Structure 1
Amino acid sequence: MKQPATYIISNDHNTVLYIGVTSNLIQRIYQHKEKIIGGFSAKYNLTKLVYFELFNDMENAIVREKRLKQWHRKWKNRLIGEVNPNWRDLYPDII
C-alpha cells in the first residue's frame, strides 16, 4: 500500500535512531530489516520500527522528516515514548 510516511527506526538497544520518509512504509522497513539498502541503517543494524506517521501527500511527509531530524535526541525519545512506551518493533502491526 502506497502512502507517504515519516518513520523512525532503531537498533535492539535503542541507542541509535534513523529518521526517514517513504511512500511505502511496509516495503521500506522490510528493506531495512533485510539490509537490502546499505548505508547508515545497515551499518548500525537499525531494523526496529519504533515510530511512524502517515500523511496524505509526500510534501508534508518530507517537511515532517526534516523537522524531526533537527530535534534533540531527548525530544525524539519523548515522541517515541508517547506512542510506543516500550519501544517495541511496530513492523508486525503494519504488515
Structure 2
Amino acid sequence: MLFTSRHGNPLTDRIWSREWDKWREAADWPNTEHAGFHALRHLFATVLITNGAEPQEVQRALRHKSLSLTLETYVGWWPKRIKTRGIFGAALSAVRGRDERG
C-alpha cells in the first residue's frame, strides 16, 4: 500500500474526500457542487479520453466493473469519428458513393 492512515489502515474514499476538502480550502479554491475529490477522478478520465485513450483503457484505469458504465458516463467526451465499420459501414459507403456519382 502506498498510502495509509496514521494507524496503518488503507485510506478510504471518505478519508481522501476529507483530506481533499482540507487541501482545497488551504488553496482557497471555491467550494462548489463539483469541487469534491471525486471531481479529480472525472478530470483524470476526461484527460485520458481527450488524449486518445480507448474506452477499455479508461475502464481499466478507473477500475469500472463494466465497459458500459464507462461508456455511459463519458460518452460525450469521446471524439466523433467518421469511420466505416464492419458490414454496415461498407454498405453505407457503397450507397454514399452511388449518391455522389448521381
Per the shorter chain, which TM-score range? Answer: under 0.3
Flag the structure with larger Rg: 2
Q: Which has the higher helix share?
A: 2
TM-score when scaled to structure 1? 0.24
Q: Which has the higher strand share?
A: 1
TM-score when scaled to structure 2? 0.23
